[in-house]
Amino acid sequence: MTNSTTVPVSGNTRIVALALSALLAGGLAVSQAQAAPAEPAIATAAATGEKSAASASSLALTRQQIVARAEHALKTPTKYRTAKNGPIKLSTPKGNNNYLGGHNLNVYNNYNGQSWCGHFAAAMWGKQGVPAKYEASQRWRTHMGNRFHPYRVNRLPQPGDVLVWTNTSNNAFGHVGVVVSVKGRSVTTIEGNAGAGTDSVTRQTYSWDDKRATGGGPYLPSKKFAGFASAR
């Protein structure tokens, strides 16, 4: 049998031991908290003033991003050429027009010399959810399924959508523009392959039921308004 010896513990020693134990426990809790991944901050609807429905807020954000890209394209110096193999230049945006040289040679269409309104619209959408061969403007009408909405006087687009016109002489060709705002019956777009020299990124505002338009809708000379492709 082994004799055990009890060592008396003073009051001060007991206090020190308890304090040390508390410090060790606190340190463990802190280290565990630091090791855990941080939770993403979630703003409440009351704090932000936004709708609480996830589908509505995500849709609005997507449309906002498209509009932001279009506004940025209008105001930002952009690469272009004035000859097929010429030096690359930078545009000088002025107000509501960003002129890209007049030769359809720019970064949107990879300097290929072809019409580029469809390229521009696809770039604003981040090339997500766009029709196959989006560079052809009428693909935004014929290859979008139920996301294309033929013109109706009481059905207006939303920011981020793409307006589609056909040429009156040949409906295989036409023009498209990205909607950036809708106020009452006025629809404002930012479009590529339009404006100065028909080779600019430019802002346009249309009446939704312009009487000059063949069949109604936003008016462009020698074109018929077809409808719009919905961003989502």
Domain extents in the chain: 55-229
Helix (H) or strand (E) holding 25: helix 11-35
CB within 8 A of 74, min separation 6: which ones?
A: 93, 96, 97, 98, 190, 201, 202, 203
Q: What is the β-pairing status of strands 89-90 and 97-99?
A: unpaired
Q: Model pTM greater than 0.85?
A: no
- Amino acid letter at 30? V
Helix (H) or strand (E) holding 123: helix 117-124
Dump pLDDT digits (tens) for 33-71: 333 333 233 222 222 233 322 233 344 458 999 999 999
- Amino acid letter at 168? T
Q: How far apart are CA 138 and CA 119, in angstroms?
A: 12
Helix (H) or strand (E) holding 118: helix 117-124
Q: Does domain 55-229 have CATH number 1.10.1060?
A: no
Mean pLDDT of 73-82: 98
